[in-house]
Amino acid sequence: MIRTLLVDDEPLALEGLRTRLALERDIEIVGEAHDGLAAVEAIGRLLPDLVFLDIQMPGIDGLEVVARAGRVHLPAIVFVTAFDRYALEAFDLHALHYLLKPVSKERLERALARVRRELARGELVEQGSANVMKLLDDREKGTGPVRRWAVKHGDRWVLLRADEVDWIEAAANYVRLHAKGGAYLIRGTLSSLERSLDPARFVRIHRSTIVNVDRVKEIKPEWHGDFEVLLQGGKVLRMSRNFRAALLR
Q: Tens digit of pLDDT per residue, the chain (249 long)? A: 999 999 999 999 899 999 999 999 999 999 999 999 999 999 999 999 999 999 888 788 888 898 888 888 888 888 888 766 656 776 776 667 888 888 888 889 988 998 888 777 765 556 666 777 777 777 666 556 888 888 888 878 888 889 999 999 999 888 999 999 999 998 888 988 898 898 889 999 999 999 999 999 999 988 777 899 999 999 999 999 888 888 888
Say if residue 9 is in the same domain as residue 128. Answer: yes
Domain that holds residue 220: 148-248
Say if residue 110 is in the same domain as residue 206. Answer: no
CA distance 66 to 157: 12
Q: Which one of 139, 173, 191 terminates a domain?
A: 139
Say if residue 191 is in the same domain as residue 118. Answer: no
Say if residue 155 is in the same domain as residue 135. Answer: no
Say if residue 122 is in the same domain as residue 173. Answer: no
Q: Which one of 89, 112, 139 terminates a domain?
A: 139
Q: Which one of 139, 165, 191 terminates a domain?
A: 139
Say if residue 126 is in the same domain as residue 156. Answer: no
For residue 236, the cross-strand partners are: 230
Say if residue 185 is in the same domain as residue 115. Answer: no
Tell me the H-state helices in the chain: 11-21, 36-46, 62-69, 85-93, 105-121, 124-141, 190-196, 244-248
Q: Kindly report the CATH number assigned to the domain that includes residue 202.
A: 2.40.50.1020
Q: Kindly report the CATH number assigned to the domain that includes residue 82.
A: 3.40.50.2300
Say if residue 131 is in the same domain as residue 239. Answer: no
CA distance 55 to 38: 14
Say if residue 242 is in the same domain as residue 133. Answer: no
Burial class of residue 56, CB neighbours in 10 A (0-12, 13-18, 19+): middle
Say if residue 25 is in the same domain as residue 133. Answer: yes
C-beta separation of 149 from 160 below 8 A: yes
- What separation, in Å, do the N-terminal and C-terminal C-alpha atoms of the chain show? 54
What total number of domains does the chain contain? Answer: 2
Say if residue 153 is in the same domain as residue 135. Answer: no
Tell me the H-state helices in 2-121: 11-21, 36-46, 62-69, 85-93, 105-121
Say if residue 93 is in the same domain as residue 163. Answer: no
